[in-house]
Amino acid sequence: MSTLRIIATPIGNLEDITLRARRVLAEADFILCEDTRVTRKLLDNYQIKTPTISYHQHSGVLKIDKIIALLRSGKNLALVTDAGTPGISDPGGQLVSLVRTALGNEVQIESVPGVSALTAAVSIAGSGFDRFLFLGFLPHKKGRQTMLKEIVASRHSVVIYESKHRIIKLLAELAALGTESGTLDVMVARELTKLHESFYKGDPGTISSALKDDPHNLKGEFVVLIRK
């Protein structure tokens, strides 16, 4: 029986990879990558020579059929994303579903767990996150305001992802909604595990000002936590 292993990889610091993940990547017949160039840096660091195949949100039917054919022929595949755990705000979840539908019991799907920006941020946020709602990336336009209102109204703490292109806009939106319902308790984690890792805490306006004070603060990926 072939195996598809879902492997967590570092979100910044290359040392954040498990011994099991390194072994499985080396033993796989092929590694499915969101961006082969990004993954190659990790593989080269650990001298892993396994060939790679690109798989990302724009991969079409032909690529999916190729992956399913490899599994059907008995090949063992490893799926990674550019950073973190596949399937968490990532197209890996769709591939897992397609493989299960196409192959059923012909393939074994295993998790090789490890780092995730979600759990990394929650681990340093402090109390208030024993229960939380994770919404990934918010829509850019349609449905965005509805989800923001749900965040403010939620009884539970909320965690979302945001890009450098929209973090200031998001904080402004949260500030405006918070004015109607009381000041929001917000935290923003930036560049987790990397050299310039930063953590900001306060109301949305205060955090926005801190980010805008230094243009370098607007680089990287952001995890936004709203504590209730």
DSSP 11: S
- Residue 124 shares a structural domain with residue 40: no
pTM for the complete prediction? 0.91
Range of the domain at 178: 117-227
Q: Give the pLDDT score at 57.
A: 85
- Residue 162 shares a structural domain with residue 201: yes
Residues in the chain: 228
Give the DSSP H or E segment for 41.
helix 36-45
- Kindly state the average pLDDT of the residues 59-69: 93
User: Could you tell me the pLDDT band of residue 224, with boundaries at 50, 70 and 90?
Assistant: very high
The domain boundary residue, chosen from 112, 144, 170 = 112
pLDDT more than 90, % of the chain = 87
- Residue 12 shares a structural domain with residue 99: yes
Separation CA 16–CA 89 (nearest Å): 20
- Residue 122 shares a structural domain with residue 107: no
Cross-strand partners of 79: 6, 32
- Residue 54 shares a structural domain with residue 151: no
CATH no. for residue 193? 3.30.950.10
User: Could you tell me the pLDDT band of residue 219, with boundaries at 50, 70 and 90?
Assistant: confident
Mapped onto helix, strand or coil, the DSSP state of residue 106 is helix
Separation CA 76–CA 108 (nearest Å): 9
CATH no. for residue 91? 3.40.1010.10
The domain boundary residue, chosen from 94, 112, 130 = 112
DSSP 147-189: HHHHHHH-SSEEEEEEETTTHHHHHHHHHHHHHHH---EEEEE
| Rg (the chain; Cα; Å) | 19
User: Could you tell me the pLDDT band of residue 59, with boundaries at 50, 70 and 90?
Assistant: confident
**Domain total of the chain:** 2
User: Could you tell me the pLDDT band of residue 91, with boundaries at 50, 70 and 90?
Assistant: confident
pLDDT digits (tens, 9 = 90+) for 12-28: 999 999 999 999 999 99
pLDDT digits (tens, 9 = 90+) for 135-172: 999 998 899 999 999 999 999 999 999 999 999 999 99
Mean pLDDT taken over the chain: 94
